[in-house]
């Protein structure tokens, strides 16, 4: 795999993370939830790319945890928000 392509992917993921961070500081709760869910998947993918590039063995495990915890947290908070 060409390393410059991986660097470009990492750059795109960082831009995506910044964009979702901006959404996370929004006023309404729904936008915050969208930003949080997006941030989880972007960070997990970034970990996968970094562990592929630099041969980090535990990167995939941390990414698995983030991928499970992100959407489950979003669903749980949405349920709380609906019942409120």
Selection from 8, 65, 7 nearest residue 41 by Cα: 65
Q: Does 24 bind another protein (CB under 8 A)?
A: no
Give me the sign of the Cα torsion angle 66, 67, 70, 75.
Answer: negative
Give the pair of three-digit tokens for residue 26: 């929004």
Across the chain, the runs of DSSP E, i.e. the strands, are none
- Nearest approach in angstroms of CB 54 to another protein is 13
Site for another protein in 48-77 (CB under 8 A): 48-49, 52, 60, 63-64, 67-68, 70-72, 74-75
Place of tokens 């964009």: 19
Binding residues (CB under 8 A) for another protein: these are: 1-2, 5-6, 8-9, 11-13, 15-16, 18-20, 22-23, 28-31, 33-34, 37-38, 41-42, 44-45, 48-49, 52, 60, 63-64, 67-68, 70-72, 74-75, 78-79, 81-82
């Amino acid at each position: 795999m060409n390393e410059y392509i991986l660097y470009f992917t990492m750059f795109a993921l960082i831009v995506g993370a910044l964009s979702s961070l901006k959404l996370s500081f929004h006023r309404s709760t729904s936008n915050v939830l969208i930003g949080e869910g997006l941030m989880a998947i972007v960070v997990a993918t970034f970990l996968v790319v970094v562990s592929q590039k630099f041969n980090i063995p535990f990167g995939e495990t941390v990414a698995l945890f983030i991928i499970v915890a992100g959407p489950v947290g979003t669903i749980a908070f949405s349920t709380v928000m609906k019942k409120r």
